[in-house]
Amino acid sequence: MRKTMWKKSRRNVNCGKLFGLYNRTIDGYNNIDYNNLIKMIKEDKDVILLDVRSIQEYKEEHLNGAILIPLYELEKTVTNIIPDKKKKIIVYCKSGIRSMKAIEVLLKKGYVNLYNLYGGLDNY
């Protein structure tokens, strides 16, 4: 997997220099890269990894400990699977597109501690 990051069209406010972890977007979630994802998982054992790809993609490859909720099922099932809306959730997919859509769903549902794997698994 490559180590480059794709660029978002939305304006990012760079907090990485302050915190060394992520770029906070103005939309209420945080973009993190793969290295900082690993660091966050090691430092916080309570973080939830949320894979929003298909069942087949998940079977082929996924991050250890990830919960699978395909994007097409997310809106109707997430509150049953992850009832605590303050939990730290890192969302990922293949390229970053589905995870961005998933973040939008989670924000509408009231989840507040959200991180997006910037560029998805393709970049790593």
**pLDDT confidence of residue 28:** 67
Query: What are the structural domains, with CATH classification, of the chain?
Result: 13-123 (3.40.250.10)
Taking every pair of Cα atoms in the chain, the longest distance, rounded to a whole number of angstroms, is 39
The active-site residue out of 21, 93, 100, 102 is 93
Q: Exposed, middle or buried: residue 91 (CB in 10 Å: 0-12, 13-18, 19+)? A: buried
Strands of 67-68's sheet in order across: 12-14, 22-25, 30-32, 114-117, 89-92, 48-51, 67-68
- Over the stretch 62-90, which tens digit does the pLDDT of each residue have? 999 999 999 999 999 999 999 999 999 99
pTM, two decimals, is 0.78
93 in active site? yes
Question: Do 30 and 49 contact (CB within 8 A), yes or no?
Answer: no
More confident: 123 or 98 = 98
Mean pLDDT confidence for 52-61: 97
Q: For residue 3, is pLDDT > 70?
A: no
Confidence class for position 109, pLDDT limits 50, 70, 90? very high
Q: Which tokens in the block code for residue 23?
A: 């770029």
Nearest to 50 by CA among 72, 20, 78, 22: 78
Rounded to whole angstroms, how far apart are CA atoms 61 and 75? 23
